[in-house]
């Protein structure tokens, strides 16, 4: 049994909150864990947003497990959440699972460059509130016989595929950052690497493919 020693109870609480939010959107959610040194990266994909969410967690000491000095495994998000002991700042790594397709590929580790033009955090939060209200208004105005899944999806695509200013970042990525608890505190940073955009905040990141390049074509690791 592998037990991760997290830096403190705050890191444990933040990881638990992130996993809980993922499970809210998918009760069978899986996460991919990568640990090396004193850093743990947790990757998830909430299906409602079509983005990759990344939560960085600090470890109390460099990861090591016998002869292994790195950890790279896909596990059940629910089982990982159950194995977190906040008061002790520990997390039990559950048995590996056969992960969904996205878990086999991840965004690049390095080579990211800053992208200009991203509005401040307050403006992004206001934008999310505005488009959520627009979605609600447009769907509620539909006649009952027209309120089909197809029509709701069409409205959703129209709204969430819009881009933020001239950055190319889809609105759904900002909505995901807000829903996952990332879009708080200071202003986020937008980064670019190849076909990827990454919205990074102090609480986590959301990565997404640029429009027109495909949904999840990423480098295999």
Residues 90 and 9 in one domain: yes
Question: Strand 219-220 relative to strand 105-106: parallel, antiparallel, unpaired?
Answer: antiparallel
Domain annotation covers residue 174: yes
Identify the domain boundary among 46, 67, 100. 100
Residues 68 and 127 in one domain: no
Residues 146 and 65 in one domain: no
Identify the domain boundary among 100, 132, 166. 100
Secondary structure class of 16 (helix, strand, coil): helix
The DSSP 8-state label assigned to residue 170 in this structure reads B
pLDDT of residue 211: 56
Residue-by-residue pLDDT tens, the chain, 221 positions: 899 999 999 999 999 999 999 999 999 999 999 999 999 999 999 988 889 999 999 999 998 887 788 999 999 999 999 999 999 999 999 999 997 889 887 899 889 999 999 999 999 999 999 999 999 999 999 998 888 999 998 998 899 889 999 999 999 999 999 999 999 888 999 999 998 999 999 999 999 987 554 434 334 44
pLDDT of residue 186: 86
Residues 96 and 123 in one domain: no
pLDDT of residue 5: 94
Specify the CATH number for the domain of residue 53.
Answer: 3.10.150.10
Domain annotation covers residue 157: yes
Return the closest-CA partner of residue 173 out of 193, 201, 202: 201
Count of domains for the chain: 2
Residues 78 and 149 in one domain: no
Residues 134 and 198 in one domain: yes
Can you list the alpha helix ranges (DSSP code H) found in 111-148? Answer: 121-140
Element housing 177 (H / E): helix 171-179
Domain annotation covers residue 37: yes
The residues facing 3 across adjacent strands are: 92
Domain annotation covers residue 91: yes
pLDDT of residue 99: 79
Residues 216 and 117 in one domain: yes
What pTM was computed for the model? Answer: 0.88
Residue 36: give the domain boundaries.
2-100
Residues 79 and 14 in one domain: yes
Domain annotation covers residue 107: no
pLDDT of residue 1: 81
pLDDT of residue 221: 45
Domain annotation covers residue 108: no
Domain annotation covers residue 106: no
């Amino acid at each position: 049994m592998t037990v991760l020693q997290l830096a403190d109870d705050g890191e444990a609480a933040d990881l638990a909150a992130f996993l809980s939010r993922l499970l809210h959107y998918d009760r069978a959610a899986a996460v991919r864990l990568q640990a090396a040194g004193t850093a743990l990266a947790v990757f998830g994909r909430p299906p409602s947003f079509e983005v990759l969410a990344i939560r960085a967690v600090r470890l109390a000491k460099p990861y090591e497990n016998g002869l292994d000095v790195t950890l790279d495994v896909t596990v059940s998000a629910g089982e990982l959440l159950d194995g977190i002991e906040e008061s002790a700042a520990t997390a039990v790594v559950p048995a590996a699972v056969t992960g969904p397709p996205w878990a086999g590929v991840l965004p690049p580790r390095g080579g990211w460059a800053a992208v200009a033009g991203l509005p401040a955090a307050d403006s992004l939060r206001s934008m999310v509130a505005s488009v959520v209200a627009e979605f609600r208004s447009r769907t509620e105005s539909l006649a009952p016989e027209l309120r089909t899944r197809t029509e709701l999806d069409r409205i959703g695509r129209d709204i969430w595929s819009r881009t933020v200013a001239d950055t190319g970042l889809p609105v759904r990525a900002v909505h995901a950052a807000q829903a996952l608890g990332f879009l708080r505190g200071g202003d986020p940073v937008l980064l670019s690497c190849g076909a990827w955009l990454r919205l990074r905040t102090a609480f986590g990141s959301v990565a997404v493919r640029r429009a027109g390049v495909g949904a999840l074509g990423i480098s295999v690791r």
